[in-house]
Chain A
Amino acid sequence: MLDSLTLLRAMNGIHEEYVVMAGNLYFDSRQAKRFKTKRIITLALAAALILSLGIAAYAAFFSMAQRVPEKSETFRINWAENESGYIEWSDAKLVVTFPETAESREIEFRPGWLPYELPAELGGSDPWNHLSSDSWFKRLTSETLCFLDGPHAVPSYKGMMQPLLIETYYMSMFNNGGALLLLYYTPDEITEEHWDDLGVDVMRFHATQHFDARPEYNMPEYTLEQDMILMAKPDAGWVVRICGEVGMDTLLKVAKNLEVRETGRTMTSDDFENHYTFMDGGVG
């Protein structure tokens, strides 16, 4: 008959790597601090990827731990479409990692508040007019549009940014050894918080990316700026990113008024056709 002493002894079945990991957290104050800064840890450079002009992300775990990669550090990421089977990314400005999660709970969200002053900046187009109180989303953008007089307005990629973008990610999508988010913008000071009311770990910061002038294309130098909020729920394996150019105060108001619900579906790595996705500075 099972008893608690037998159970205590049977904890010997816990795999060595987790014993070592926990021991390091316990006995090495530097690692504990890093863990606190929002945990995990696996920088396995194996699996899936998320990348793009601005940010790339990768692989399988959460709550967020962050570090500035070494200048010489290269991230080698599986990429089936490449001849070599992988691609290498260097010059990342920030690495964010998550706990490994075999399963994620699918979510959708409903904004409780949005900056309605935005439409005035969007050439008369109202990006919110399709919203109703019944609207639930997995991704929502407010895009600067162009060709408004034509049959199909399209997002303007001038500056490669959006005023506001909200989207969802799942740790299990990159379930192959660790989740890694690479940011190619340079972040300012990073604020890490736990929001009890939403039950999420939050990492937020302002970031910039400078581009030198390119006279051959008649392009002056310019700097892109954005604010970013990453909200993660490690137990459920999901991440919501809220980012854009509308300013941190506005993004915070959007984030704190976001209603998130689970759809009841469980997402595993097999549910994703591609094990990479794009996550840049806010381009749709």
Chain B
Amino acid sequence: MEDKQIVDLYWQRSDLAISETNRKYGRYCHTIAYHICGADEDAEECVNDTWLRAWNLMPDQRPTALSAFLGRITRNLAIDRIKAKNRLKRGGGEAVLALDELEACIPGGKNPELALEEKELAATIGRFVSALPQPAKAIFVLRYWYLAPIDTIAERLQFSRGKVKSSLFRTRGKLRDYLQEEGIC
């Protein structure tokens, strides 16, 4: 079923909306959640919560890219879940590794007064990623949006593991510089 038809089902408050969403995006959302949580049962609960959240958001929202819309919900739910369970340092899937990697993007000279609202930070990251060339952009998004394991990224894009790691290393360095230029500490 086309995304537009699925969205229409939500707007019509049809029970089919969730089953069709699950059929088309169940694996997609489960993969995202599993990458973050590192446990099947947590991932499954995140996916179910995603459908509920989507049901509550549509209407009024009419997402232009349903996959990204659902993926973002799943992602947020999964991050909240591991945070709530305080599992970030005790086996929170790829999130643990990704968080360690992202430490390298945080500019030095921290100044709490300059801390930005998360929304502003998100906009800054959006601009940064938009300006990235390929394939660095795809690799970065797969790693830090999807929390995909490096080995899997390498396998899917048919790059060597080293190429993926070096691309991420360079991009993190650029992000650190960019955040610094933007005055984000």
Contacts of A61 in B (CB 8 A): 133-134
Closest beta carbon of chain A to B105's beta carbon, Å? 6
Interchain CB contact under 8 A, B28 and A23: yes
Question: Do residues A5 and B144 form an inter-chain contact, with CB atoms below 8 A?
Answer: no
**Mask of B106-149 contacts with A, CB within 8 angstroms, 1/0:** 11001110011010011111100111011111100110111010
Would you call B122 and A35 a contact (CB within 8 A)? no
Q: Does the CB pair B122–A13 fall under 8 Å?
A: yes
A51 CA to B111 CA in the complex, in Å?
53
How many residues belonging to A are interface residues under a CB distance threshold of 8 Å?
Answer: 44
Q: Are B79 and A8 in contact (CB under 8 A)?
A: yes
> Taking A12-B76, A20-B68 as contacts, is the C-beta distance between A39 and B106 under 8 angstroms?
no
> With the chains together, A62 CA to B31 CA distance in Å?
29
- CA gap between A3 and B144 in the complex, in Å: 14
Q: Whole-angstrom distance between the alpha carbons of A127 and B157 in the complex?
A: 43
B136 to chain A, nearest CB (A): 7
- Is the CB of B88 closer than 8 A to any CB of chain A? yes
Are A4 and B134 in touch, CB under 8 angstroms? no
A32 neighbours in B (Cβ, 8 Å): 156-158
Flag if B156 contacts A5 (CB, 8 Å): no
Given A63-B134, A235-B133, A36:B159 Cβ within 8 A: yes
Do A20 and B67 touch across chains, with their CB atoms under 8 A apart?
yes
Residue ID in chain B nearest A14 by CB atoms? B129
Q: Is the CB of B129 within 8 A of A15?
A: yes
Distance in angstroms between the alpha carbons of A20 and B142 in the assembled complex: 10
Please, how many angstroms separate the alpha-carbon atoms of A8 and B67 in the complex?
19
The answer to whether residues A234 and B145 also contact, given A2-B121, A10-B125 and a CB cut-off of 8 A, is no
Q: Does B95 touch A at the CB level, under 8 Å?
A: yes
| A35 B157 Cβ-Cβ under 8 A | yes
0 or 1 for each of B67-108: is its CB under 8 Å from A? (1 = yes): 111011001100100010000100000010011101101110
Min CB gap B159→A, angstroms: 7
- Least distance between B19 CB and chain A CB atoms (Å): 20
- Residue of A4, A20, A234 touching B133 (CB-CB under 8 A): A234
Decide if A253 is an interface residue (CB 8 Å cutoff).
no
18 CB contacts below 8 A, A to B, read A1-B185, A2-B106, A2-B179, A2-B184, A8-B102, A12-B122, A14-B145, A15-B130, A19-B68, A19-B71, A22-B141, A25-B138, A35-B135, A36-B157, A62-B134, A63-B134, A235-B136, A237-B133
- Given contacts A15-B130, A23-B67, could you give 12 more A-B pairs where the C-beta distance is less than 8 Å? A1-B185, A10-B118, A10-B121, A10-B124, A10-B125, A12-B72, A12-B122, A16-B65, A19-B67, A23-B146, A25-B156, A26-B146
- Where the two chains meet, the residues of A that have a C-beta atom closer than 8 Å to any C-beta of B are 1-23, 25-27, 29, 32-33, 35-36, 39-41, 61-63, 99-102, 234-235, 237
